[in-house]
Amino acid sequence: MTGAGEEMHALVERLYPLRRSITGDGVRATLDIVGEHLPLEVHEVPTGTPVLDWTVPQEWNVRDAYVADASGRRVVDLAASALHVLGYSVPVAARMPLSELRGHLHTLPDQPSLVPYRTSYYKPEWGFCLAQDVLDALPDGEYEVRIDSTLADGHLTYAEHVVPGEVEEEVLVSCHVCHPALANDNMAGVAVAVFLARELAERKPHHTYRFLFAPGTIGAITWLARNRERVGRVAHGLVLACAGDPGSVTYKRSRRGDAGIDRVLRHVLAASGRPHEIREFTPYGYDERQFCSPGFDLPVGSLTRTPYAEYPEYHTSADDPDFVSPAALADTLAVCREAFAVLDRNRRYVSLSPYGEPQLGRRGLYDALGGRSDAKQAQMAMLWVLNLADGGHDLLDVAERSGLPFDAIADAADALAGAGLLKA
């Protein structure tokens, strides 16, 4: 896991400086890098395409942006950070006094050394983001202002990667690829998704896993609009975000509150002994609110470390690669691995010998336990599985009711099914 954490952190560092937004070449460059690790199916959806109650916007690209003082020195420069330009700024080339320019400058007075992240996606506007300390040091006078951007008909870009499973039922894993120069939100989520997909591909999972790399909000809405006829395959889902900060793990339940993914994350986090928090669903946050909108009501929860807007570095220049640690990335990956292992092994069974306790000895099941140090636990696991194999309880129910580890319950079910005593 240490090696995986370091590799994920290196991927975050590589993705971090790209000039991303909800559309444009920065998204494509991000997906190109992800595509070096995973085969991707990339989708380009034209501007003007109706998607549910929305419309795919014009594509935005920026090549250069700066504010220069009378000497020509760039006091705000896109080349220094992708955060310095207001996202989706219309082009501008002008000279103006500081008094006029101030109306287009965004700062964080309460965090004067940091640059904020700001956007204006659906209202034509232009502007710059800078530290309050820099603004306070600017003398009165005339400044050159230039934003070399284009806002024109183009495409919204997103990508999918599918890990085939034994069944067509899908686990949807979603992360957003639109934020520029923000490491935890959300290049950490992208990195964890990439390594999780690679791990799943090394084995044949039970479920089919679909990884969605899309811009926030409009990307999820576009995917839902283009997949309305097949979203019924989504049996479980997880939105990954803020996956690399030093905080403990937080899981936000789906709208349903008791979906399989909700039960599994609750169980896995409790059994792991990790510090964690389980939160109820709210219709605000990341793309879980799109997947859980009432018309779809998909069983999708959200996994973060510190939730959005609850750490001071959120949406500021302090959310840089130094804020993200390999250990935190590795721990988030481990939580996902543990949860998906439970998802893939969880079944409902029916006993084929439900009248009285079946004789385990003549089927060799007791003999198989003879040399095991956990023979008593394994025996109890078999008895619990047999007793609750009524078609109405899944293995997670059995584990929680018995107090035994889920893996012990799943191993017992495998042994009993192999002996002809259970049917899935």
CATH value at residue 89: 3.50.30.90
Q: Are residues 145 and 234 in the same domain?
A: no
With 70 as the cut, is the pLDDT of residue 392 above it?
yes
Tell me what the mean pLDDT of segment 279-293 comes to.
97
Q: Are residues 239 and 176 in the same domain?
A: yes
Question: For residue 336, which of 265, 414, 386 has the smallest C-alpha distance?
Answer: 265
∠ CA 337-176-191, rounded to 5°? 45
Length of the chain: 424
CATH number, domain with residue 305: 3.40.630.10
Q: Are residues 246 and 162 in the same domain?
A: yes
The total number of structural domains that make up the chain = 3
Q: Are residues 178 and 326 in the same domain?
A: yes
∠ CA 78-80-84, rounded to 5°? 45
- Ligand-binding site membership of 84 (annotated): no
Q: How far is CA 173 from the centre of its chain?
A: 7
- Give residue 413's pLDDT: 97
Residue 380's domain comprises 348-423
Looking up tokens 């495409």 gives 155
* Residue ending a domain, choose from 345, 373, 389: 345
Q: Are residues 84 and 184 in the same domain?
A: no
Could you read off the pLDDT of 118-170 as tens digits, one per residue? 999 999 999 999 999 999 999 999 999 999 999 999 999 999 999 999 999 99
* Residue ending a domain, choose from 318, 345, 372: 345
Question: Are the beta carbons of 238 and 335 closer than 8 angstroms?
Answer: no
Q: Are residues 244 and 167 in the same domain?
A: yes
Sign of CA dihedral 383, 387, 389, 394: negative
Could you read off the pLDDT of 202-261 as tens digits, one per residue? 988 999 999 999 999 999 999 999 999 999 999 999 999 999 999 999 999 999 999 999
- Give residue 376's pLDDT: 87
CATH number, domain with residue 352: 1.10.10.10
With 60 as the cut, is the pLDDT of residue 370 above it?
no
Q: Are residues 304 and 380 in the same domain?
A: no
The token pair that represents 252 in the structure block: 């936000």
> Measured between alpha carbons, how far is 336 from 53 in angstroms, rounded to an integer?
32
Q: Are residues 11 and 77 in the same domain?
A: no
> Measured between alpha carbons, how far is 218 from 222 in angstroms, rounded to an integer?
6
Residue type for 375, please? A
> Measured between alpha carbons, how far is 296 from 307 in angstroms, rounded to an integer?
24
- Give residue 366's pLDDT: 72
- Ligand-binding site membership of 315 (annotated): yes
> Measured between alpha carbons, how far is 30 from 190 in angstroms, rounded to an integer?
10
Q: Are residues 298 and 407 in the same domain?
A: no
For helices 2-15 and 25-34, angle between their N-to-C axes, nearest 10 degrees: 160
Q: Are residues 318 and 252 in the same domain?
A: yes
Q: Are residues 287 and 162 in the same domain?
A: yes
With 80 as the cut, is the pLDDT of residue 372 above it?
no
- Give residue 202's pLDDT: 93
47: left (phi over 0), alpha (psi -120 to 50) or beta: beta
* Residue ending a domain, choose from 104, 122, 152: 152
Q: Are residues 280 and 204 in the same domain?
A: yes
Question: Are the beta carbons of 73 and 61 closer than 8 angstroms?
Answer: no
